[in-house]
Amino acid sequence: ETADRPWQLLPEGKGDTGTALALLGGSVAALGLWKWLGRKRIQRKMEEARRTREEGMKKMAKAVQQFREQVPSAQRDAILSLPLLELSGRLQEGSLSPRTVLYTYLEKALEVTQQTNCLRHFIPECEEQLREIERRTEKGLLYGIPVSIKDHIGHKGHLATCGLMQCLDTVMEEDSVLVKVLKKQGAIPFAMTNVPQSLFSYECSNPIFGQTLNPLNPQRSPGGSSGGEGALIAGGGSILGMGSDMGGSIRLPSSFCGLCGLKPTAERLSLSGVTGPVNGILAVPCALGPMARDVDSLALCMKALLCQEMFQLDPSVPPIPFNEEVYSSSAPLRVGYYDTDGYFPLPPCMRRAVKETRSALQAAGHQVSTTTPCPDPQGVPSLTPRNIVDPGLKAQVNSCKMPRLVKKLLALLLKPLVSACPSGQEQGLPGVTQVTAAPCHVPKEPRAFPVPPPG
């Protein structure tokens, strides 16, 4: 009987109030302790990540010092001043060694990150990759070129944090497809760069690794989310970097730091092995792309990446190589432009930028004409007068506002009629996200389907 009515164990009379207060106080203390332990656990994780980064920087500095002692005559400033095409040519012909170039950029990257906090981690495996390409007889298009990569582009044995504490346990088990292709083409990934928390920001700061500054003006931001790449390349610590872009994350840092950046068409470069803070975002896909000092560097990088190795490792990438004929052609182009979509007027600074671009294209001999974007008869007109949320979701939103007890009773009553109600209720946000993200993943190996016999 006592087991059925546990409240009978509580003392009666005046002691009831004291017992209740004691239980309440104990619960509050336990909750406070639990939260304090959680904060301490988070703090330990962040401190461990920072300590690992500092140890990597020390290894980086030690490796540079050893190289300087062995090769004191290396012409650092001359190497750093070379544009990518010229540097690549000298590496291909052998007048410069990959070892000299790598350690020159390692040294410069250390200097830049001390000023801007742009590096998230040094990649010590770059020395192994250096030895590997020195043994090869065939040189790739990026032979000996040091390359920096954004935080969430997977490299075996390293974190992909997205600036989030919850990702501090995410150690990549293998290289992303992009890193594999870079290595195949002879490039040497040597550093991972800082990003804003969750990547969804035009700034570059996170609570784990801190704020990244603009090397052109430390009072300004390098932009985001590829802000670490922008700061490192603009400061001279990298000659080629790989970023990602969904809503401007390559284009804005390139603009803020005086660089060139390219956001290719979505899925032009493989996203396999790239970590994202949120799964299932299909409407606005992410795209990987290069960042460098000039346009020719971007073209060389895309030419190297759009190869059979990329197409074989990820069947979801369209097997379309870089079109050198189109890129090198001097024939005038027909360019259409507009400075308004008919709904949202641009500010004066953006209108001026469009007009300056139009004038530059005309001066270069291209045919430029005004155009209008394809009108959407339903999109904006139906969105603004009604609701930002699809009207079909109103019933679902209202059902979420019901008390939990009412929802359980309704699920029980409707179960014989709609068997999916209880299971749908149990899925929750993680389940829905998993279902939404499922179409994004394509098997690495093509599947074999049985062929019916003839006749």
Q: Which one is catalytic: 108, 148, 150, 205?
A: 150
Tokens linked to 376:
């959407």
Residues 48-63: b if buried by 16+ CB within 10 A, e if exposed: ebeeebeebbeebeeb
Spatial CB neighbours of 278, under 8 Å, sequence gap ≥ 6: 433
Distance of CA 146 to the CA centre of its chain: 19
Non-local (6+) Cβ contacts of 261 within 8 A are: 226, 243, 245, 250, 251, 253, 254, 289, 290, 291, 292, 298
Rounded to whole angstroms, the Cα distance separating 162 from 154 reads: 11
Helix (H, G, I), strand (E, B) or coil at 30: helix
Query: Is there a catalytic annotation at residue 201?
Result: no
88, 205, 249, 297: the active-site residue: 249
- End-to-end CA distance of the chain: give it in Å, rounded: 77
Given 88, 205, 221, 225, the catalytic residue: 225
Compute the half-sphere exposure of residue 388: CA atoms within 13 Å on the CB side of its CA.
0
Q: How far is CA 379 from CA 16, 343, 374, 388, in A?
A: 63, 11, 11, 11
Look up 255 and say whether it is catalytic: no
In 260-366, beta strands by DSSP E: 260-261, 287-292, 334-337
The Cα–Cα gap between 394 and 48 comes to: 45
If DSSP codes are grouped into helix, strand and coil, which group holds residue 148? strand
Rounded to whole angstroms, the Cα distance separating 68 from 274 reads 35
Asked whether the beta carbons of 108 and 236 are under 8 A apart, the reply is yes
150 is catalytic: yes
Does residue 132 contact residue 157 with C-beta atoms inside 8 Å? no
Please tell me the distance from the alpha carbon of residue 269 to that of residue 311, in angstroms, as a whole number: 9
Token digits of residue 79: 């190497």
Cα distance between residue 212 and residue 223, in whole Å: 9
- Name the token pair of 101: 């170039």
Active site residues: 150, 225, 249
